[in-house]
Chains A and B, each alone.
Chain A
């Protein structure tokens, strides 16, 4: 399908890091079933390094591909680097997304930030909360 880049289709057809981590050190969930996208990220962290990451996604092709790519971008990386992950980085790594699908990459970024914040909370480490916004149907944008 010409709608998506080969990279998006590859990550959609063969998503990396799908699944659940039992006893995860940090979990983040964003989105809303009403809007048609939910992403959940599980992190395993050791010595400030993300040693494992898994995701579950309810959503369209680009939502699944964005989750997959986002997990690849932070796997094995230090927390400080994961904290700087942006949706632009996810989009670029996927060789771009259609304009009306950019919100999928935003959700991926937010899910990862939420999971990191969950880890900090559990550790009692103060952190700045990323404001999570619904970028799809509830935002009132048209």
Chain B
């Protein structure tokens, strides 16, 4: 039995996406930049995909640039806004403490290049306050970048509110919508979004392809030089099958968004209720205002990597924000940002669902997690001190 509950990491390619992609590997494999009809057939597929994706975001097809994924789109959006800001001597960027590393590491690099960055803190519910973002904006702010929904704790950010504030203040607004696209309705016009990143493999599209929306008039800085593809905004022959697969996957996700949301949210809540029965555990992020498929918990007295390994033995694929799984020395910056102490953040577990998840899988996962938590607590000196009253519980 394999229970895949790491859909925030990646998803299974949908049948629709695979079927749409196949002709572009061996039949219509022409280069879209070639002028003969065989190449132009590939170019038409690109244009159709561009129009379709633009339709789902409510933007113009010319405002879509295809990239290698969400990280590249984030890098390009931030770099472009920074370059535009520098022309006007504006070198201040506002973001939050819970962004993806594709954003945070790009901002770190810009700090070394002389930009100033303000990271707005978030309260314990994991949702940044729009008014706190507004308060951080200065006359020299060239960009506000706030994610649409968080990848670790699933919280949905007040994007429309922040968009309105930025539009009023004349500051560019970028949102990393990698976890939201295909899962939540997005309207870049209504939400005053100037730039948006998305990644195909988070909504059952292929890996290695994504898109950057940039409102007309925003000059994008090319990160990759070498050709006139993507109207000079990204050199390199386009990933035609990937782009076609991305468009097909997004079509399908948007066509079934409401029913998927209802179904997955019900399973998510069943999972949250089940895991809430484990003592001294806590849900990370707001209970209501979160992605349909995201469940994130911290369990006191144990460490996340050992949890993942034992869950893997039981057939459950999950994720954790512990230091040992992040490859860094600190646990997840998101869990620390919402106020979880280090020792609690080490005991985190993220389970992320898809429309393919079944109620039986949820029940099996709850049982597996309960067993693993219990087993690891049984050999934990931290747990012994907690239950014997030597140290007080942090999570009641």
Chain A residues with a Cβ under 8 A of chain B: 1, 9, 12-13, 15, 18-20, 29, 33-40, 55-61, 63-64, 100-101, 136-137, 141-142
Contacts and interface: CB of A to CB of B under 8 A. Distances in A.
A141 B381 CA distance: 26
Interface of B: 301-306, 309-310, 312-313, 322-324, 327, 329-331, 341-343, 346, 378-384
B381 A60 contact: no
B343 A34 contact: yes
B320 to A, nearest CB: 10
A61 B305 contact: yes
Contact of B306 (A38, A55, A64): A64
Contacts, number: 79
Contact of A33 (B305, B312, B324, B382): B382
Contact of A142 (B322, B329, B380): B329
30 contacts: A12-B309, A13-B310, A13-B313, A33-B342, A33-B343, A34-B343, A35-B342, A36-B324, A36-B343, A37-B303, A38-B381, A39-B381, A40-B381, A55-B379, A56-B380, A56-B381, A56-B384, A58-B303, A58-B381, A60-B306, A61-B305, A61-B324, A64-B379, A100-B327, A101-B324, A136-B323, A136-B329, A137-B329, A141-B329, A142-B329
A45 to B, nearest CB: 20
Contacts of B306: 12, 59-61, 63-64
Nearest to B308: A61
Interface of A is mostly: mixed
B345 to A, nearest CB: 9
Contact of B305 (A20, A56, A60, A141): A60
Nearest to B380: A58
B394 to A, nearest CB: 10
B4 to A, nearest CB: 16
Nearest to A64: B306
Nearest to B343: A33
A38 B380 CA distance: 8
Contacts of A9: 309
Given A1-B312, A35-B323, A38-B380, 6 more contacts: A29-B381, A34-B342, A36-B303, A56-B379, A60-B324, A61-B324
B305 A57 contact: no
Nearest to B344: A33
A72 B378 CA distance: 20
The winner among B301, B309, B330, B331 for most chain A CB atoms within 10 A is B309
The winner among B306, B312, B313, B331 for most chain A CB atoms within 10 A is B306
Contacts of B324: 36, 59-61, 101
A19 B378 CA distance: 8
Q: Which 5 A-B pairs have the closest CB atoms?
A: A33-B343, A60-B305, A60-B324, A56-B381, A36-B346
Contacts of A13: 310, 313
Contacts of B310: 13
Contacts of A136: 323, 329
B309 A18 contact: no
Contacts of A33: 342-343, 346, 382
The winner among B303, B313, B382 for most chain A CB atoms within 10 A is B303
A57 B382 CA distance: 8
A36 B302 contact: no
B250 to A, nearest CB: 33
B303 A59 contact: yes
Contacts of B301: 58
B281 to A, nearest CB: 16
Nearest to B322: A36
A142 B329 CA distance: 8
Nearest to A54: B379
Given A12-B306, A142-B329, A60 B322 contact: yes
A61 B323 CA distance: 12
Contacts of B381: 29, 38-40, 56-58
A59 B322 CA distance: 10
The winner among A1, A38, A60 for most chain B CB atoms within 10 A is A60
Contacts of A137: 323, 329-330, 342
A1 B309 contact: yes
A1 B324 CA distance: 15
A136 to B, nearest CB: 6
A15 B306 CA distance: 12
A31 B230 CA distance: 53
A3 B298 CA distance: 24
B329 A57 contact: no
B156 to A, nearest CB: 29
A57 B380 contact: yes
B303 A15 contact: no
